[in-house]
Each structure stands twice: as structure tokens, then as C-alpha cells.
Structure 1
Amino acid sequence: MAAEICATYAYDLSQLLACLAREEFLVPGGRSRGMTYHLPGEQLPTPEQVFAAPLSSSEHYEASSEGC
């Protein structure tokens, strides 16, 4: 996913992330294409935490469209 938003080749990006993990700037998890990284001391959110809350941006769009 990060390669999709960066102007970097996937191989170069994976090498950079691996280097940051070796230097302990990032904590790796998973394997191969399922590899994830997060900051030390932080935990990845659970799917329930990510998808349970309503999207505040959609509420904003609904509220702003009423005034038009």
C-alpha cells in the first residue's frame, strides 16, 4: 500500500522499511506481503477499532450539503 502512495519502487521501499526496523525506528510484524510496521510503543488498531466508529468526514459532507 505504501508503494501506491510513494514515488518509490516496492523493492526500494521494503528495503527502507527493513532498515528502519533494524535501527529500531519501526517495529515489524507479519511476513512477506503481509508485513506491517508500527512505531515502538504503539499498537496497531484492531479491526473493531478501525471500522466501529462512524466516519466523521461523511457527517461533515452531509451537514454541508444541507446548506446548499
Structure 2
Amino acid sequence: MQTIDFELDRDFVELNQLLKLAGLCDSGGAGKQLVASGAVRVDGEVELRKTAKLRAGQVVTLDDVAIRIVALQ
């Protein structure tokens, strides 16, 4: 499984935007479609809220990619 560390420079990032910023889709709209399909998990649980607020310490998985959200140092 590929792991991406995403450095969070604010309090939270919305799930659909995270997928775009991490390069897993081309746009926020495409990110919303991925979430709606049930393919995205947050901390091991299927997440269907497209604009779920994610914070440092959480892990998002899509297929064989894991995105670890880390606080900007």
C-alpha cells in the first residue's frame, strides 16, 4: 500500500478537497463522487460525508493508497 503524508496547515481539510490536494482525483467534484461511491474510508470506516472535516492524526484510504494527515511542523 502506498502511503502519502499530507501536511495540514490549518485546523481541518474537507474530505473531497483532501482527495484533490493529494492527487487522487482531478477536482473537488470528482472527490465528491469518490466519497459518494463508498470507496473512501476514514480511520477504517466508510465515510459518505463529502465535506467531512479531517484533522491531523486521521488516515484516509482509497483503494491501495493511504493518506496520513499530519500537522505542519
Q: What interval of TM-score do these two structures reach, taking the shorter chain for normalisation?
A: 0.3 to 0.5
- For normalisation by structure 2, the TM-score amounts to 0.31
Higher helix share: 1
- For normalisation by structure 1, the TM-score amounts to 0.33
User: Over alpha carbons, which structure has the higher Rg?
Assistant: 1
Q: Relative contact order, CA 8 A, sep 6+: which one is greater?
A: 2
Higher strand share: 2
